[in-house]
Chains A and B, each alone.
Chain A
């Protein structure tokens, strides 16, 4: 077990556990990155705006988006429908034309490209879609061949690559099937194989699992994660489902009304959510309390939401609290989750007792590093 630098943020080097490799080589590579001064920035979006003119005036779909995606990131962009996340990802391969701002891929400003240059750039960006968008008139193998055909890859190379890709997505036996004969999950696997055919630098996923059932979603996400680990492929995922972010993303940006509200490492953003919408997304995976409990705040009982992160999740804090203070604690809801290799606990409890004792108990919890929030009705 060794570590490799995951990112360099807010002055801290964040290390990720990886198999193989030595620590010194990682530090060397880190020193190299710093020497280059730019890290491994794959995609940089600067001051991006997108406006649509409609009969009812101008719609601001994107407002001053600034975003950096580094090599080998699995970068999630989460937001409700209409937040502008899909527009944002479409600006990366210019399926949408930005109104203003710049998008750099590997240091090249792609907003300036035209004609053949633009098409060549697109061949290095894979994309998968919510509704798969496969060619119904072609077989599975034919669909995977398409991107290679249009970029003039020789037939023999095509066939070899199709075989590799079919093995990767575990569809070797379906090579000659047509899309209409496949299940949703299988169609998306074909979509992934097709997107990878030209060995892209980045894979854009536009709500790629939203049309799939939870079990299939999980298997598709696992495949994406495997590909990321095997080939170091950078993946950008657009979703409205927190569970997708939770399962595979390393970093996340939360969008609302065409703006990025907060972004950073998944465990940071989701253990310290700032905006209402982020809290909403976090609650969607840690489950929330039924409405009727919310009206139970009385002078001698308080509803608390407790957040445990890292070491505090493993300590018997509540048990000590009850011994030390004259309060009763009734656990209403809770769970411990893995958020990208970090253990995160979330509990909703009802604490009863004298007000002063409750205040002291809350103070104790905060001292132990537990996030403590009174749930208002």
Chain B
């Protein structure tokens, strides 16, 4: 009967764990999504214009401005040199000033957005550079102004590639958001740290990983689908 008791004990532990997972995972999945979606939006708001400026101020492009191009390029590179964990710690005072606290889900959005914006800028830059020079030249020859070339030619022509780039950013931010969990951010990262790492709860750890895998797969699939819909090539 001792063997049966052991089994019984394990069953109870498993039941507890399942209950715990069901309690924790949905809410923390939501927190992760909230952080990543809002951060992606901020990153695009800042990064998209930066990417556009990086392209059009380049030598031989429609608004050649070598100085602006070099300054902006340097800013983006500096932003991208910070390992995320260091960036997160370094800007704690700024985060506290902006949000009122450096802990929790909303506070994590600040470092996540700052880390992702230069990334988005480079992603947008490389997407816009894929457009054939001739297409932009044709638009210039027809008498388009700069705004028309950006909004009616460059962005629509590169949209499919930009969508894939934003999907890439989104998936990267899921990874970063888990790191935010280590210093008091919310989301799936927090559970993995608190239950999986600090309390040796393998079950919760595995569940968290499975949820993350499904999340990344789903996001990538949606991104690919939208990009394919937009692409007319």
Identity of the chain A residue whose Cβ is nearest the Cβ of B155 in the assembled complex: A137
Within 8 A of A (CB), among B71-127: none
Cβ of B184 within 8 Å of any chain A Cβ, yes or no, is no
Q: B138 touching A136 by the CB < 8 A rule?
A: no
Bound Cα distance A131, B136 (Å):
12
Q: Tell me which of B134, B139, B141 contacts A125 (CB under 8 A).
A: B141
* Contact present for B141 and A135 (CB under 8 Å): no
**Size of the chain A interface, CB-CB below 8 angstroms:** 27
Partner of B153, one of A119, A121, A123, A135: A135
With A and B bound together, what is the CA distance between A123 and B233 in angstroms?
A: 28
Whether A93 pairs with B141 at a CB distance below 8 angstroms is: yes
Whether A150 lies near B233 (C-beta < 8 A) is: no
| Nearest CB on B from A138, distance (A) | 7
Q: Which residues of chain A come closer than 8 Å to B152, judged between CB atoms?
A: 146, 149-150
- A127 at the binding interface (Cβ < 8 Å): yes
A129 and B134: CB pair below 8 A? yes
Q: Do the beta carbons of B142 and A133 come within 8 Å of each other?
A: no
- Tell me if A119 and B145 are in contact (CB < 8 A): yes
Neighbour of B144 across the interface among A131, A136, A150, A178, CB < 8 A: A150
| Chain A: CB-nearest residue to B159 | A137
In the complex, the chain B residue whose C-beta lies closest to that of A131 is B134
A34 to B194, CA, bound (A): 94
Residue pair B141, A127 in contact (C-beta under 8 Å):
yes
CB proximity to B under 8 Å, residues A106-135: 119-123, 125, 127, 129, 131, 133-135
Provide the main secondary structure of the chain B interface: helix
Q: Which residues of chain A have C-beta atoms less than 8 A from B153's C-beta?
A: 135
- One digit per residue, 1 when the CB lies within 8 angstroms of any chain A CB and 0 when it does not, for chain B 170-207 equals 00000000000000000000000000000000000000
B132 within 8 Å of A (CB atoms): yes
For A179, list chain B residues within 8 Å (CB): 232
A150 touches B135 (CB 8 A): no
The one of B134, B142, B157 in contact with A150, judged by C-beta atoms closer than 8 angstroms, is B142
**In the bound complex, CA of A93 to CA of B142 (Å):** 9
CB-defined contacts of B137 to chain A, threshold 8 Å = 95, 129, 133
- Contact assessment for A129 and B148 in the assembled complex, using a CB-CB cutoff below 8 Å: no
A136 engages B233 (CB within 8 Å): yes
Interface residue? B140 (CB, 8 A): yes
In the complex, the answer to whether B142 meets A137 with C-beta atoms within 8 Å is no
Check: B143 CB closer than 8 A to any chain A CB. Answer: yes
Check A127 against B143 for contact (C-beta < 8 Å): no
Taking A119-B144, A136-B157 as given, write out 8 further A-B residue pairs in contact, using a Cβ cutoff of 8 Å, ordered by the A residue number: A119-B145, A122-B141, A125-B141, A127-B142, A133-B134, A146-B139, A147-B143, A178-B232
Selected A-B contacts with CB under 8 Å, 26 pairs: A93-B141, A119-B143, A119-B145, A121-B143, A122-B140, A122-B143, A123-B143, A127-B138, A131-B132, A131-B134, A133-B135, A134-B135, A134-B138, A135-B135, A136-B157, A136-B233, A137-B156, A137-B230, A137-B232, A146-B139, A146-B152, A147-B142, A150-B143, A150-B152, A151-B143, A180-B232
Q: Give 10 closest A-B pairs by Cβ, nearest first.
A: A122-B143, A133-B138, A123-B143, A119-B143, A133-B134, A137-B156, A178-B232, A147-B142, A127-B141, A133-B135
